[in-house]
Amino acid sequence: MGGCDRTFQAHQSGLLQKLLQEDSTYDYDLIVIGGGSGGLACAQEAAILGKKVMVLDFVVPSPQGTSWGLGGTCVNVGCVPKKLMHQAALLGQALNDSRKFGWEYGQQVKHNWETMTEAIQNHISSLNWGHRLSLREKSVDYVNSYGEFVEHHRIKATNRKGQETSYTAAKFVIATGKRPRYLGIQGDKEYCITSDDLFSLPYCPGKTLVVGASYVALECAGVLTGLGLDVTVMVRSVLLRGFDQEMAERVGSYMEQHGVKFLRKFVPVMVQQLEKGSPGKLKVVAKSTKGPETIEGVYNTVLLAIGRDSCTRKMGLDKIGVKINKKTGKIPVNDVEQTNVPYVYAVGDILEGKLELTPVAIQAGKLLARRLFGGSLEKCDYINVPTTVFTPLEYGCCGLSEEKAIEVYKKENLEVYHTFFWPLEWTVAGRDNNTCYAKIICNKFDNYRVIGFHVLGPNAGEVTQGFAAAMKCGLTKQLLDDTIGIHPTCGEVFTTLEITKSSGLDITQKGC
């Protein structure tokens, strides 16, 4: 009669101890490990709901010695500095265009790297400060220490000086994010830099080899080229893996036409220092992926952008039995961001199967806090999350790639509408026609529902955002056709899409 299975389970998960202990024996209601986009959002929301919260954030310096303040990847070595540098590059283009619009000033226009990075770092510092202030205002305890689990409900926090302190909490959220991966070849850690280092590099990187084909690689390569540097991108196979490949190729094509050199189907095997300096000179030997061919090149800087590794392997997760994907380091969670250990949750880049984006992490973090402490039932909606790649020609998208759509729905059930467009501002500037491109993928059997939205053009992020909201509301081709465009804009092109891929008709614009 009866049984003790459930009791055993509760003991295993730590629930039993928790129930037996009074909650007041925990130092905190919630400890968040990782002060980035997801972690801070979660912590602050929990504090607003009246809970006692601690955030631990610690940046292990990069192999080159770079470190930064509170705020995580996005603020310090991601979205923010990336977009600001992208803006610097765009301004270079604007300076060119301006002459066509009648502006007159000296022909010699040079870019000063240090001026730019100083301005960007100043802004980042203000954001670091703003985050510290925000935590203080909400009475969230912040500790600049490295957190590791030592046993259930307990972590040890090690600060820069090596001093250890112990803390306990009823619940934990892991939001430690990721760091750039290295190649594992001779010279990579000693001589190469990554996105962790680029945005605060105290000297101009000069002639640069970017290794990788991720959006990080392409965005960085695009920026450096826009600032006037000699840039080569070494790609092992495809560009922007996981993104719509037609769009990826168009992105790459534009970059190539605008001065970025591509070495396709090569991987570096050795990096050697020829000269020390800021920057120095590096020799790179690379091997073809197709045969025995090797090539060599000399660069001032080698920037590795081949992917990112989850910061989950050195935080004692094994001590409390939190399962992680052995290969990727990512943490599998259920649809309420809970790990296999009931009182441990995770948000952000380290989640398995979720998008690595700041707004996703923020949304997930906030909603998690509301469910844990605010009685909410709302889950994070990961469907149709829009994103934008801020390459020289920006690429915004929401929903499925054409390949994925075909895989899921079968080609005959889809209709793809597409067109080139020529932004009005490009006409007088003399910039290419038949380059900017718009494409939507519709599901014929669901009222021509828009299941994929893709735009390649200026301000792609601004254009895409609203369409993402519309897709959330069930956007169809008919609704697009019924909506009036705002004239003259790039976005309006989606309200007048007529030509389908299946018709084979020419979408070349004749300049009107």
Partner 1 sequence: MEAGRQDYNLLVIGGGSGGLACAKEAAQLGMKVAVVDYVEPSPRGTRWGLGGTCVNVGCIPKKLIHQAALLGGMIRDAPHYGWDVAQPVLHDWRKMAEAVQNYVKSLNWGHRVQLQDRKVKYFNIKASFVNEHTICGVTKGGKETLLSAEHIVIATGGRPKYPTHIEGALEYGITSDDIFWLKESPGKTLVVGASYVALECAGFLTGLGLDTTVMMRSIPLRGFDQQMSSLVTEYMASQGTRFLKHCTPSRVQKLPDGQLQVTWEDLTSGRENMGTFSTVLWAIGRIPETRSLNLENAGINTSPNSQKILVDAQEVTSVPHIYAIGDVAEGRPELTPTAIMAGKLLARRLCGQSLDVMDYSNVPTTVFTPLEYGCVGLSEEEAMARHGEEHVEVYHAYYKPLEFTVAERDASQCYIKMVCLRKPPQLVLGLHFLGPNAGEVTQGFALGIKCGASYEQVMRTVGIHPTCAEEVAKLRISKRSGLDPTVTGC
Widest distance between CA atoms in the chain: 92
Q: Where are the alpha helices (DSSP H) in 202-332?
A: 215-226, 245-257, 317-320
Closest CB to partner 1 among residues 315, 367: 367
Long-range contacts of the stretch 283-287 (C-beta < 8 A, 24+): 284/209, 286/234
Among 52, 264, 287, 472, the residue binding partner 1 under the rule CB under 8 A is 472
| Binding to partner 1 in span 195-254, by CB under 8 A | 227
Is 62 annotated among the ligand-binding residues? no
Among 266, 477, 491, 497, the residue binding partner 1 under the rule CB under 8 A is 491
Binding residues for partner 1, total number by CB under 8 A: 89
**Minimum distance from residue 173 beta carbon to partner 1 (Å):** 19
Q: Where are the alpha helices (DSSP H) in 169-282?
A: 188-191, 195-198, 215-226, 245-257
Sign of torsion, CA 80 81 87 93?
negative
**C-alpha–C-alpha distance, residues 248 and 456, integer Å:** 10
SS3 218: helix
Closest CB to partner 1 among residues 274, 486: 486
Is 119 annotated among the ligand-binding residues? no
DSSP 21-59: S-GGGSSEEEEEE--SHHHHHHHHHHHHTT--EEEE---
Length of the chain (residues): 512
| Binding to partner 1 in span 36-75, by CB under 8 A | 37, 71, 74-75
Q: For residue 487, indicate whether it is catalytic.
A: yes
**Could you say whether residue 30 binds partner 1 (CB under 8 A)?**
no
Virtual torsion, Cα 406, 409, 412, 417, nearest 10 deg: -60
Closest CB to partner 1 among residues 235, 451: 451
Q: Which of 123, 152, 418, 487 is catalytic?
A: 487
**Could you say whether residue 396 binds partner 1 (CB under 8 A)?**
yes
**C-alpha–C-alpha distance, residues 86 and 81, integer Å:** 8
Closest CB to partner 1 among residues 294, 427: 427
Site string for partner 1, 428-457 (x = CB under 8 A): x-----------------------------
Report the alpha-carbon angle 216-220-225, nearest 5.
150
**Could you say whether residue 162 binds partner 1 (CB under 8 A)?**
no
Is 147 annotated among the ligand-binding residues? yes
**Could you say whether residue 94 binds partner 1 (CB under 8 A)?**
yes
Closest CB to partner 1 among residues 254, 426: 426
**Could you say whether residue 374 binds partner 1 (CB under 8 A)?**
no
* DSSP 8-state code for residue 353: T
Binding site, by residue number, is 83, 147, 212-219, 307, 349
Binding site for NAD(+), by residue number, is 212-219, 307
Q: What is the set of active-site residues?
A: 487
